[in-house]
Structure 1
Amino acid sequence: MDASSRIVIFSGGRLGVWALRMLKPEDFLIGADAGALFLIRQGLSPDVALGDFDSVTSAEAAAIKAASKQYIDCDPVMKDWTDTEMAFQYALDRRPSEIVMCGVLGTRWDHSLANLHLLRKGVEAGVRCTIVDEHNEIAAIDGWAPWRLKRGRYPHVSLLPLSLEVTGITLEGFQYPLKDAALSLGQSLGISNVLLEPEGTITISGGLLLVIQSGDDPPPQN
């Protein structure tokens, strides 16, 4: 796959019109289980639909298969990965420049947390990965390169350790700056910061850090 390509995964969690507005014509679309049903109901043809399809009816599964460019199903019992992890690993294997996951957060917190942990695999693979829903954009970063954020899309920026400790945290362009700080798992020091400059930079030297941009209202469309 072209190194400049972006893969967008749609799973069966919270989805809406907001998810369609963020799509680009050149995106490679993966529908995981009910996420594929959402795509075809919007008139979109997934490049790949995969999963055990236990969240859809047999008629809906047949419609997904007919509308998708590739259809991969598996036994719902004899499998080790969730549908979202299957989709994520498929995406990683294609070595894109970026992976965006939609519909991976919802009422099942076990699934939501497991999907959040997939961001670690993205960091380890060196692929920029984000989880997006109507109110949040979530990424995980390590110390390999600074992470840059633009002001305006989401008003709040929170930092939470995904490892036991994150060290060397330096923030530039924020209302509450940090310089070579450390955060341990369980601390809330990094909650609800605000960007003051048009662009902010987050740098860390060790560990794995969740960067959560959020707002109570849907972000404005560019």
Structure 2
Amino acid sequence: MEIYKLPVAGLGVDTVILANGEFPSHIVPLTILNNNNYLVCCDGAINSLIKTGLKPDAIVGDCDSLTEENARLFANIVHCIPEQETNDQTKAVNFCVEQGRTQITILGATGEREDHTIANVSLLCEYLPYADVQIISNYGIFTAIDKTATFQSCEGQQVSLFSIDRCTVTTHNLKYPVVRRVFTNWWQASLNEAAGDEFTIETDGRMLVYRAFLNEK
């Protein structure tokens, strides 16, 4: 059974994708942005990253948001993928997988436009067959699962579940128990709460699990 740890300040990770949404400001995503082995920017995100003094290992996307100056400055690491069947986040994920990097943390995928947020988060379920990808925002962590999994948590931590498939769901160690429920809309399993230092979700389909940070700073 998969066990998902709770990201904490000081955590380092292998591969990070920085998307062009709300820039990291919470201490957890900020630490990860500054402590990783390989950093990929979706093309528009370099415009924000460059202000921090950090440099990416690769810039990936359709390059529609890349300024002429940055295109020239980073020409040797720009990987332009013009097709429009996937968004820049997925282009970046696929690029990382092609490099053999399948443990991926995405930052900056939420905020700004709501339609981009919904699309980026839902795409986690598309990556399940070939990569282990999580989105960490300034407010919490999104994880996709398609089978039973346990999540590290803190008592009182806010937890929301979103069924992508029509699946049967049972929870263990959440404040409001769920027993063999089939949810038909995203709101129905939102706004739950961890009852201890871990909880388990049993599912036979794809789901998104959200754990909010206890401290939003």
TM-score by length of 2: 0.80
| Among candidates 132, 151, 155, match of residue 154 of structure 2 | 151
Structure 2 counterpart SS, 1:17: coil
Which residue matches 1:138? 142
Counterparts of 1:45-194 in structure 2 under 5 Å?
A: 45-65=55-75, 70-75=77-82, 79-125=84-130, 127-143=131-147, 145-151=148-154, 155-163=157-165, 165-167=166-168, 169-179=169-179, 181-186=180-185, 188-194=187-193
* CA distance 1:147–1:36, shift in 2 (3 Å): farther
CA RMSD, Structure 1 to Structure 2 (Å)? 2.5
Match for residue 15 of structure 1? 23
- 1:24 and 1:172 map into 2 onto residues whose CA distance is 35
- Percent same amino acid at aligned positions? 24
Question: 2 CA distance for matches of 1:187 and 1:71?
Answer: 37
Q: CA deviation at 1:46?
A: 1.0
* Residue type of the alignment partner of 2:141: E
2:43 maps to 33
Deviation at 1:8, TM superposition (A): 1.0
Q: Alignment length, in residue pairs?
A: 203
CA deviation string 1:129-155 (max 9, x = no partner) = 111211131111111x42322216x82
Alpha-carbon distance in structure 2 between the residues aligned to 1:17 and 1:209: 27
CA contact (8 A) 1:6 1:97 kept: no
Aligned partners of 1:21, 1:50: CA distance in 2, in Å?
A: 22
Counterpart contact for 1:37–1:64, Cα < 8 Å: no
Secondary structure, counterpart of 1:112 in structure 2: helix
Counterpart of 1:210 (choices 189, 208, 211) is 208
Letter in 2 for 1:32: C
Cα distance change, pair 79–190 in 1 and its aligned pair in 2 (3 A): closer
5+ unaligned residues in a row in structure 2: which ranges?
1-12
Deviation at 1:72, TM superposition (A): 1.1
C-alpha distance in structure 2 between counterparts of 1:112 and 1:187, whole Å:
15
Local SS of the residue matching 2:95:
helix
User: Whole-Å Cα distance in 1 between the matches of residues 91 and 75 of structure 2?
Assistant: 17
Q: What CA distance in whole angstroms lies between the structure 1 residues aligned with 2:151 and 2:214? A: 22
Structure 1 partner of 2:5: none
Structure 1, unaligned runs of 5 or more: none
Deviation at residue 48 of structure 1 after TM alignment: 1.0
